[in-house]
Amino acid sequence: MKTDTPRPIHLKDYRPTDYLIDEVHLDVKLVPQQTRVKSVLAIRPNPAVSDPASSLTLDGEQMELTGLALDGQPLARGDYTVDDKSLTIDNVPSGPFTLEIETTCDPDANTSLSGLYRSSGNYCTQCEAEGFRRITYYLDRPDVLARFTTRIEARRSDAPVLLSNGNLVASGPVEGTERHFAIWEDPFPKPSYLFALVGGDLADVDDVFTTASGREVTLRIYVEHGKEDRCDYAMDALKRSMRWDEEVFGREYDLDIFMIVAVSDFNMGAMENKGLNIFNDKYILARPDTATDADYSNIEGIIAHEYFHNWTGNRITCRDWFQLCLKEGLTVFRDQEFSSDMRSRPVKRIGDVKLLRSHQFPEDGGPLSHPVRPNAYIEINNFYTATVYEKGAEVVRMMQTLIGPEAFRKAMDLYFERHDGEAATVEDFVTCMEDASGRSLDQFMLWYTQAGTPELAVAGKFRRSERVFELTVTQMTPPSGGQRKKQPLHIPLEIGLIDADGEALPLKLDGHGALERPVLEITEEEQTFHFTDVPDKPVPSLNRGFSCPVKLTSNLSDDDLLFLMSRDQDPFNRWEACQTYAGKKLLQCVEDASKNQTLRTDEQLAEALDACLADTALEPAFVALMLNLPSENDLAARIGTNVDPWAIHTARSNLMAYLAGVLHDRLIGLYDRLTDNDPYSPAAADAGRRALRNTVLDLLSRIDGPDVASRQFKNASNMTDQMGALNVLGTIDAPERTDALNAFYDANKADHLLVDKWLALNAMAPFPDKIAEIRALTDHAAFSLKTPNKVRALVGTFSIANPVCFNHEDGSGYRFLADTVLALDSLNPQVAARLSSAFKNWRMMEPGRSALAKAEIERIKSRKGLSRDTLEIVTKTLQ
Ligand code: 0A1
Ligand code: ZN
């Protein structure tokens, strides 16, 4: 914790290091409050730097230096300097040399969960982005790649399991002691952020995978004792990921063993350390009675994501942290593709777009807006954002759309061939796309450097006499992230033209003939496309599959939208038309609500949804998505200024109740039809059926009250159905709600992941008079400020998923968040900073609320000793 104003780091200042580290030999003696680390580094001047400095500065913090020697000679006090951030050694040799460093650190006191810490008594590490410097002094940056050998020693009774990256080369007792050791060797040079070490008393579940070339790889998942029966799905997902990466990207695994360790205290979802992934156990443990379908699909996606990092992140890493999207955007793209292949592609795409809209668009349009590749940061941990990850993936997807799937695969092969073993840049990657396709992506690069969500306005016009359909597209990106004037981007816009019978019309462009792929390339501020030989007025289907991450408006009429909802060949756009239409109607209802007028309803929407419910050709998961009208947060974002969350809540609840009333009989029939007694399977089709049934339950309960949900809660034979019922009951202010929540807690209080679900359910209660009850849960035995999952479940859910309470007009919701951020900041700055970003929408609120929110953000900012992490977020939030 520092109070002096932190200095930003700029991309333009990137310089390679004066020295390189080729080899690292670590010797770690695990002791709870005084772990001793000996590090032997083989160092040489960097040949790429012409005039290296005569001193060497290594990063290091929160350690005690207990020994230092250069080429075997202990260094005297005057030969080096240490401060709270670094160790500088003066006059190092001009040729290769060896540095031996001995330090101690205190894993028990490490509540930041960065570096070496203990989770449920087990030692584990988190080194991305800059945690290695809390383990030993080092050049802790991604462009320094070294081979690591790690010896770990601990009391056998404390830590029978000792793990690190690579392959196990020796292990055994330390003679004459109660201690034992293990030595791990990683043959692949890697940056320090990929280092990992684990020591603890853990159970393991094993399997094997035979690679395409016939090598046998041991797969091993470590979990708390007694949780072994919750690893099957993660293991299955891992094997499917390994096979998929071979088949789709030609990438094989490269070590003899792949290990995963599940821990309950973790700042993020999981971490791709070479050969030793460490996971938040929420994304490993699953059994039908403990995990929901959503949990299963998250597990599949995150297992795949971390595994795919082995090539996109580990074998080819990032030159500097500004290039974070190089590994993250690309790996998210790869895990999205994997899940699309494992499940339903349109349903996956809709889910991804919903996430992009709910998290990335508000980020890009608010005070924390930054480009996919930021050009400055104060604390890099604040840049693991939806923009870097999700928009980063969209940028990769757009390149695939522009150059086509074959050229894209060629480009990926080229990237792996050209940059294997290197620390690369975004330019390196895009150059491979250019070289493989023969196309220039110069203008496209703006997607990486320009912040903000582009706005596309599309107008169609039919000239009957000429049989021409004219489509005019204008683009504009609003100023944001310190960038005022934005350049026009290179945008792939996938489209279709549909005739009155619902048939696809051929796409012939004036002067170009038939389009090879249905993609318009937008490169200018305004462009008009003339489609020829169009016999009758078509309905254009725009931005199919969400081919570009933009906000699109058009001159489509309500009738056009209703037509697309039922007839578009592109399922994504059927859903999109529904969202656009329902969103429009909901905004009118919000206006009614804020004027205290009777809220309007919409028969046509009810009819369209009824047709959708009746259409047995549609996947149930898709129908469930159609029935999910734009969320309250969505509507707030669309309104954009002077937002009254209560009016939004009232309007949305009212329209949902109206729809439930009109569709009531069909919903009852459907609910019964979707009920089955087959054993639970996490497969997408079964999950889809449950998703629809739970959506139907939600609608029905708006008319019929809590009975059906109560029954479902009591009879449920799996966690998905139980949570489906609880999600509904949680929003009904009736005794059934309290009974179910109490019963759930009593039945599951020994299971920390289920307790987290209970905390989240409580936090979502949309009852403004119950904020004090939610807040009181911070004193409940089930809560701990030291466990990020618990903070996210209670306070994170409250601030993001309970807009009416968080934005209470008396400011008590804002105060709850600010108090939590302040209490957490000294324990875990990363999580505190992330939590504080929930204030990012404060300016959108009506003046009373926004003043209250602002005061709370200012209160955080003025706290003495606030972490750099939180200070950066709240400062930007206020700007
Ligand atoms: N690279 C991981 C995410 C991650 C990032 C930072 C962490 O600690 C600050 C931990 C994990 C991923 O993309 O999965
Ligand atoms: Zn990642």
**pLDDT digit string, tens, across residues 665-718:** 999 999 999 998 899 999 999 999 999 999 999 999 999 999 999 999 999 999
Confirm or reject: Cβ of 269 under 6 Å from ligand 1.
Answer: yes
Which residue has 């490269």 as its token pair? 254
DSSP 130-186: TTGGGTS-B--STT--EEEEEEEEEETTT-SEEEESSEEEEEEE-TTSSEEEEEEEE
Q: What is the pLDDT of residue 676?
A: 87
Confirm or reject: Cβ of 268 under 6 Å from ligand 1.
Answer: yes
Query: Can you give the three-state secondary structure of 301-335, one letter per residue?
Result: HHHHHHHHCCCECCCEEECCHHHHHHHHHHHHHHH
> Quick count: other Cβ atoms within 10 Å of Cβ 772?
9
Confirm or reject: Cβ of 272 under 6 Å from ligand 1.
Answer: yes
- Ligand 2 mean position, distance from CA 273 (Å): 11
Q: What is the pLDDT of residue 631?
A: 98
Ligand 1 atom closest to Cα of residue 313: 1
Confirm or reject: Cβ of 332 under 6 Å from ligand 1.
Answer: no
The pLDDT confidence band at residue 6, using thresholds 50, 70 and 90, is confident
* Ligand that lies nearest to the alpha carbon of residue 309, given by its number in the listed order: 2
Q: What is the pLDDT of residue 5?
A: 76
> What is the Cα–Cα distance from 18 to 400, expressed in whole angstroms?
38
Q: 222 near 198, Cβ under 8 Å?
A: yes
Sign of CA dihedral 118, 120, 123, 126: negative
Q: Which residues contact 450 (CB under 8 A, 6 or more apart)?
A: 371, 477, 483, 486, 487, 489
With CA atoms as reference, report the closest residue to 446 among 477, 389, 490, 390: 490
Residues 477-486: what's their mean pLDDT?
88
Query: Can you give the three-state secondary structure of 23-80, one letter per residue?
Result: EEEEEEECCCCCEEEEEEEEEEECCCCCCCCCCEEEECCCCEEEEEEECCEECCHHHE
Which residue has 């929407």 as its token pair? 605
Cα 157 to Cα 162, 198, 365: the distances in Å are: 12, 15, 53
Q: What is the pLDDT of residue 1?
A: 44
> Quick count: other Cβ atoms within 10 Å of Cβ 669?
12
Q: What is the pLDDT of residues 17-39, one digit of tens each?
A: 999 999 999 999 999 999 999 99
Both structure tokens of 430? 């895009």
Q: What is the pairing mode between strands 146-155 and 539-542?
A: unpaired
Confirm or reject: Cβ of 196 under 6 Å from ligand 1.
Answer: no
Q: 489 near 450, Cβ under 8 Å?
A: yes
Determine whether 501 is exposed, middle or buried from the number of CB atoms within 10 Å of its CB (0-12, 13-18, 19+): exposed
> What is the Cα–Cα distance from 88 to 814, expressed in whole angstroms?
44
* Ligand that lies nearest to the alpha carbon of residue 333, given by its number in the listed order: 2
CA neighbours closer than 13 Å in the CB half-sphere of residue 195 = 33
The pLDDT confidence band at residue 3, using thresholds 50, 70 and 90, is very low
- Ligand 2 mean position, distance from CA 332 (Å): 7
- Ligand 2 mean position, distance from CA 117 (Å): 21
Q: 833 near 379, Cβ under 8 Å?
A: yes
* Residue located nearest, by CA, to atom 3 of ligand 1: 271
Confirm or reject: Cβ of 335 under 6 Å from ligand 1.
Answer: no
Q: What is the pLDDT of residues 569-624, one digit of tens each?
A: 999 999 999 999 999 999 999 999 999 999 999 999 999 999 999 999 999 999 99
Confirm or reject: Cβ of 384 under 6 Å from ligand 1.
Answer: yes
Alpha helices by DSSP H, 749-786:
752-763, 771-776
Q: Which residues contact 175 (CB under 8 A, 6 or more apart)?
A: none
Q: What is the pLDDT of residue 483?
A: 84
Q: 223 near 232, Cβ under 8 Å?
A: no
With CA atoms as reference, report the closest residue to 132 among 44, 29, 186, 62: 62
Q: What is the pLDDT of residues 181-211, one digit of tens each?
A: 999 999 999 999 999 999 999 999 999 999 9
Which residue has 């012939």 as its token pair? 508
> What is the Cα–Cα distance from 215 to 853, expressed in whole angstroms?
58
Cα 216 to Cα 228, 257, 274, 314, 474: the distances in Å are: 23, 9, 18, 21, 55
- Ligand 2 mean position, distance from CA 310 (Å): 10
Q: 630 near 579, Cβ under 8 Å?
A: yes
CA 545 distance to own-chain centroid: 20
Q: Which residues contact 286 (CB under 8 A, 6 or more apart)?
A: 230, 232, 233, 234, 295, 296, 299, 682
* Ligand that lies nearest to the alpha carbon of residue 830, given by its number in the listed order: 1
* Residue located nearest, by CA, to atom 8 of ligand 1: 128
Q: What is the pLDDT of residues 256-309, one digit of tens each?
A: 999 999 999 999 999 999 999 999 999 999 999 999 999 999 999 999 999 999
C-alpha torsion 862→867→869→874, nearest 10: -10
With CA atoms as reference, report the closest residue to 150 among 138, 159, 137, 163: 163
Ligand 1 atom closest to Cα of residue 830: 9
Residues 433-443: what's their mean pLDDT?
98
- Catalytic residues, by residue number, are 306
Q: What is the pLDDT of residues 793-842, one digit of tens each?
A: 999 999 999 999 999 999 999 999 999 999 999 999 999 999 999 999 99
Q: What is the pLDDT of residues 643-670, one digit of tens each?
A: 999 999 999 999 999 999 999 999 999 9
> What is the Cα–Cα distance from 168 to 187, expressed in whole angstroms?
11
Confirm or reject: Cβ of 286 under 6 Å from ligand 1.
Answer: no
Output the pTM of the full model.
Answer: 0.99
Both structure tokens of 86? 């670094």
Cα 182 to Cα 28, 153, 162, 779: the distances in Å are: 10, 7, 6, 41
- Ligand 2 mean position, distance from CA 416 (Å): 18
Q: What is the pLDDT of residues 726-735, one digit of tens each?
A: 999 999 999 9
**224-227: long-range contacts (C-beta < 8 A, 24 or more apart)?**
224/120, 224/262, 224/264, 224/281, 225/201, 227/203, 227/262, 227/281, 227/285
Q: What is the pLDDT of residue 482?
A: 78
> What is the Cα–Cα distance from 740 to 725, expressed in whole angstroms?
9
**Greatest pairwise CA separation for the chain in angstroms:** 97
- Ligand 1 mean position, distance from CA 592 (Å): 44
CA 666 distance to own-chain centroid: 37
Q: What is the average pLDDT value for the chain, to the nearest integer?
A: 97
Which of 128, 263, 325 has most ligand 1 atoms within 8 Å of its beta carbon, as the pocket-test mutant? 128
With CA atoms as reference, report the closest residue to 825 among 814, 838, 834: 834
Which of 134, 241, 271 has most ligand 1 atoms within 8 Å of its beta carbon, as the pocket-test mutant? 271
The residue length of the chain stands at 879
Q: What is the pLDDT of residue 4?
A: 64
> What is the Cα–Cα distance from 386 to 360, expressed in whole angstroms?
5
Determine whether 708 is exposed, middle or buried from the number of CB atoms within 10 Å of its CB (0-12, 13-18, 19+): middle
Q: What is the pLDDT of residues 60-115, one digit of tens each?
A: 999 999 999 999 999 999 999 999 999 999 999 999 999 999 999 999 999 999 99
Residues 449-475: what's their mean pLDDT?
98
Which helix or strand (DSSP H or E) is residue 523 part of?
Answer: none
Q: 69 near 100, Cβ under 8 Å?
A: yes
Q: What is the pLDDT of residues 530-572, one digit of tens each?
A: 999 999 999 999 999 999 999 999 999 999 999 999 999 999 9
